[in-house]
Amino acid sequence: MKKVVSPEYLTCPIRQVISRFGDKWSLLVLYALDKSDRGVMRFNELHAHMSDCSQKMLSKTLKELHVSHLVDRKVYPEVPPRVEYRLTDVGKSLIPAIDPLIGWAKEHFDEVVKP
């Protein structure tokens, strides 16, 4: 039996937009790129900031953020290839909305994670 998707779902900004960066790793990638001294990071630099994220998951997250126009990916024609990631203008415009959430998480960390 095929599931029918309602038109409201397809046009709902909460579902369609926030699902693009609201997962476990995307916010951390966006935050790391924003806080980077140069505004640009290579894969291994990002992975060093998120060592609990597997390389496969980080790669998948970066691809999804790129497809969603939040992160730009630049490949340099070198051997071995060099790839750099940076926030797009759309990604940069998201940071002021994310910063209060990060502040809230820091302020309420103990209350939220206590057993």
Q: Which residues contact residue 101 at a Cβ distance below 8 angstroms, ignoring those fewer than 6 apart? A: 27
Q: pLDDT tens-digit profile of 57-106?
A: 999 999 999 999 999 999 999 888 889 999 999 999 999 999 999 899 99
R_g (Cα) of the chain, nearest Å? 16
Q: What is the pLDDT of residue 1?
A: 67
**Per-residue confidence at 115, pLDDT binned at 50, 70, 90?**
confident
| pLDDT value for 74 | 96
User: What is the reported pLDDT for 80?
Assistant: 86
Q: What is the pLDDT of residues 19-46, one digit of tens each?
A: 777 788 999 999 999 999 999 999 999 9
What's residue 54's pLDDT? 95
| pTM reported for the whole predicted model | 0.83
pLDDT at position 5: 66
State how far the Cα of 5 lies from the Cα of 17, in Å rounded to an integer. 17
Confidence of residue 14 (pLDDT cuts 50, 70, 90): confident
Q: How many alpha carbons lie under 13 Å from residue 22 in its C-beta half-sphere?
A: 8
pLDDT for position 87: 98
